[in-house]
Amino acid sequence: MKKLALVLLILAVAASFSFAQRGKTFIGIAMPETHVQRWVKDGNALKAAAEKKGYRAEVQWGNADQAQQNQQIQSFLNQGAKALIVGNINTGVNSVIRDAARDNVIVIAYDRLIMNSSDFNYFITFNNYKVGTLQGQSIETALNLKAATASAPKSITLFAGSPTDDNANFFFDGAMDVLNPYIDKGVLKVVGPYPRTSADKANFQRIATENWSGPIAKQRMEGLLSGDARSVTLDAVLAPNDTLARAIIEALKADAKYRTKLPTVSGQDAEFASMLSIKNGEQYSTVFKDTNKLAEAAILLADQLLKGQTPAIPGAVVASGELAKIGNTGTKFVVTYLLDPILVTKSNLQIPVRAGFYPANEASQITAR
């Protein structure tokens, strides 16, 4: 009898819980992939931030497959989502974004712009041009390019992110705005394809990395080592994020030429594995983007929009002037909120640690002497 009462009690609690859940406004969170670690963190942080504000939230990761992500978004819509936070994979997302707009669902493009779409109004991200500038500056400093001469030029090879991700253009152009003047002066030589900017689509495509895939970057680096870079010793590799930086470093380490000294390799995302790599003197730099703050800001934006308020997002600036381009989908400029990225090298590894970016066990490994 007692058992039956307990079972009934559990059922009642479960029912009232699911009733309470049903009563809550639902936010669907669609993240692009898990092979780049940051998105796992982003998804979890977004869900937690939404629940903290009293929403029901669900997160799904699309495995870098737009068809899969579209099904996930469609399922959010079927469940009655009132807002969607979307980090998309490619323009294949546009059909479901159109469906969302038709249902008056608020869509916030999260970190990645939804290209060629006019069916949404808001984008929240980091200053992606500045991310690239910081990558370029870290190479400029490490190679002491200001003092380099044309008689002893430094050499670099270039990698870019996914050609389907508009961020990859901003990262690259930011970096090249720092590096091009040295290339023009002849003190920095590019080994392999050299798109001066991302607008040189033919050459950009040659250095781009489909879906930000580590194995593809590794393979391309191996090809360079046995091809264009065979008779030079590279001083630097422009790598657009940490996942690709580590893949590139793996290829470099297998080459006897780089066994004692690796080229300067840039990165982005302050991934734990890259923080250790920087600490160990392998990867040179990363760019810290506090995605916990981005997630909180995105949910605050969703909350204000759902309540019909005029958005005001502390810690973010609305992109204007030149930076307004970051919010240009190709068919429309959307309102774009930018957070600030920070360069991290061996000398300031504590910055993301102090920001609470890692769980305790990871933090202690980064800070251990």
Contacting residues toward ligand BGC, per CB under 6 A: 36, 38, 111-112, 161, 165, 167, 212, 241, 268-269
> CB-wise, 140 or 269, nearer to ligand BGC?
269
Residue pair 245/335 in contact (Cβ under 8 Å)? The answer is no
Rounded CA separation 236/140 (Å): 10
> CB-wise, 155 or 241, nearer to ligand BGC?
241
> CB-wise, 38 or 47, nearer to ligand BGC?
38
Number of neighbouring beta carbons within 10 Å of residue 309:
9
> CB-wise, 111 or 119, nearer to ligand BGC?
111
> CB-wise, 87 or 235, nearer to ligand BGC?
87
Rounded CA separation 211/361 (Å): 30
Shortest distance in whole angstroms from residue 253 CB to ligand BGC: 22
Shortest distance in whole angstroms from residue 109 CB to ligand BGC: 11
Shortest distance in whole angstroms from residue 188 CB to ligand BGC: 25
Residue identified by tokens 């910055």 is 351
Shortest distance in whole angstroms from residue 268 CB to ligand BGC: 6
Distances (CA, A) of 275 to 11, 139, 215, 245: 47, 17, 20, 12
Number of neighbouring beta carbons within 10 Å of residue 92:
14
> CB-wise, 124 or 353, nearer to ligand BGC?
124
Shortest distance in whole angstroms from residue 161 CB to ligand BGC: 6
Rounded CA separation 359/353 (Å): 9
- The burial class, CB within 10 Å (0-12 / 13-18 / 19+), for 134 is buried
Listing DSSP states for 18-67 in one string gives HHHHHHSPEEEEEE--SSSTHHHHHHHHHHHHHHHTT-EEEEEE-TT-HH
> CB-wise, 112 or 154, nearer to ligand BGC?
112
Shortest distance in whole angstroms from residue 13 CB to ligand BGC: 40
Shortest distance in whole angstroms from residue 212 CB to ligand BGC: 4
Residue 96 DSSP SS3: helix
Shortest distance in whole angstroms from residue 14 CB to ligand BGC: 37
Residue pair 88/66 in contact (Cβ under 8 Å)? The answer is yes
Residue identified by tokens 């040295």 is 182
Distances (CA, A) of 243 to 143, 215, 291, 317: 22, 10, 16, 28
> CB-wise, 154 or 289, nearer to ligand BGC?
289
